[in-house]
Structure 1
Amino acid sequence: MEVGIKELRDNLSRHLASVHHGHTVTITDHGRPIARIVPIGHPTRLETLIAEGRVAKAPHRKTPALDPLPAAGTVSDLVRDQRR
């Protein structure tokens, strides 16, 4: 079942009841799927692949971004200077 964000917000209890009964709800934003609500008892495709040993979780989390370097001028100025 596909529902828009407004429809989900307006009828959340009804849609969660549907999920409780085993249905999957796909949330759309302007007709484009953006999220999925699935019953907790059903493993996701990724969970199934991990259980089968066909894929593995990443060994480490990504490192956080470095602190920004101090710079003078705008980003446009810096890009222009790099292109010279």
Structure 2
Amino acid sequence: MEQIGVQELGQNASQYLSRVASRQESIEITDRGRPIARLVPITNDDWVNMVAAGDIVPADPDIDIRDIEPLAVDVNASEILRELREHER
């Protein structure tokens, strides 16, 4: 994501706003090198909004799930569910 300073944004605001609106790109605003805000396009797509807000991180497309070793878990999910249901009664 491109970063620009507050002063740069102030001097060229319309240029940056146009880029965000037309190209659907996001720009991070910094104050003395410290990120303080983001210009992001408005969208009605919940997924895009959550990614832009940092609420979710998209999966890395370079990872092949078949290469991931399964965890060794000695827990029986059926047994746990049975116990939980017994406590509900």
Match of 1:44 in 2: 50
TM-score, normalisation: structure 1: 0.51
Which digits, 9 at most, give the CA deviation of each residue in 1:29-82, with x for residues without a partner? 001101001000141335966xxxxxxxxxxxxxxxxxxxxxxxxxxxxxxxxx
Match of 2:6 in 1: 5
d(CA) in 1 for partners of 2:9, 2:29: 8
d(CA) in 2 for partners of 1:47, 1:2: 16
Structure 1: which 5+ runs fail to align?
50-84
Q: Once structures 1 and 2 are overlaid, which stretch shifts more, 39-48 or 5-14?
A: 39-48
How many residue pairs get matched?
49
Are 2:22 and 1:31 aligned?
Answer: no
Extract structure 1 runs of 4+ deviating beyond 4 A.
46-49
| Structural RMSD (CA) | 1.9
TM-score, normalisation: structure 2: 0.48
Structure 2: which 5+ runs fail to align?
57-89
